[in-house]
Amino acid sequence: MKEKELRRTLAVLPIGTAMKLTDLSARQIRYYEDQELIRPKRNEGNQRMFSLNDIDRLLEIKDYLADGMNIAGIKYAFEEQKRKSKLVTTTQSDNHELTDDDVRRILREELLQTGGLEGPDHQIPGFFHKKPL
DNA sequence: GTTCTCACA
DNA sequence: TGTGAGTA
């Protein structure tokens, strides 16, 4: 499955396409880049070029945001995703019982629970959640 | 026509 | 986040 992974990392989509695919505004996409949630490549004309992985990433960001998570929380979520991903590939390289979706869902639940139980006093300023619902 | 950066009545 | 300005 290396060819497939390679194609998913090919940055060939301009921001206009990313907008249609993710239903996000150019403003939002650029803002998320500033927050280092995504790292689109740049072409010769300094224009952002997105890969399918970037698109998935943007969709995840939109998903997390919908669940009330903020930028800091999402950054943390991606770090954990990377950490757990490494754990899975090294401990069960041939056991694919856990799909990426499972990891994301489990992780989201964990984050929502943690942030939800924290009292306003012990909550890290703008980490997991936006204003307590 | 599209995208980029910067700035704000 | 939106939006307009001035470019590339």
Domain extent listing, chain A: 1-57, 67-133
> In the predicted model, is pLDDT for residue A62 greater than 80?
yes
Fold adopted by A1-57: Multidrug-efflux Transporter Regulator; Chain: A; Domain 2 (1.10.1660)
Contact A69, A128 (CB under 8 A): yes
Q: Which of residues 62-81 of A touch strand B (CB under 7 A)?
A: none
Give yes or no for CB of A63 within 7 Å of strand C: no
The kind and range of the H/E element at A1 are none
> In the predicted model, is pLDDT for residue A95 greater than 70?
no
Residues with Cβ within 8 Å of residue A58, at least 6 apart in sequence: A18, A21, A22, A24, A29, A32, A38, A50
Residue nearest to nucleotide C8 (CA to C1'): A45
What does the DSSP 8-state code read for residue A9? Answer: T
Identify nearest nucleotide to residue A45 by CA to C1′ distance.
Answer: C8
Give yes or no for CB of A14 within 7 Å of strand B: yes
> In the predicted model, is pLDDT for residue A94 greater than 70?
no
Rounded to whole angstroms, the Cα distance separating A33 from A7 reads 21
> In the predicted model, is pLDDT for residue A48 greater than 70?
yes
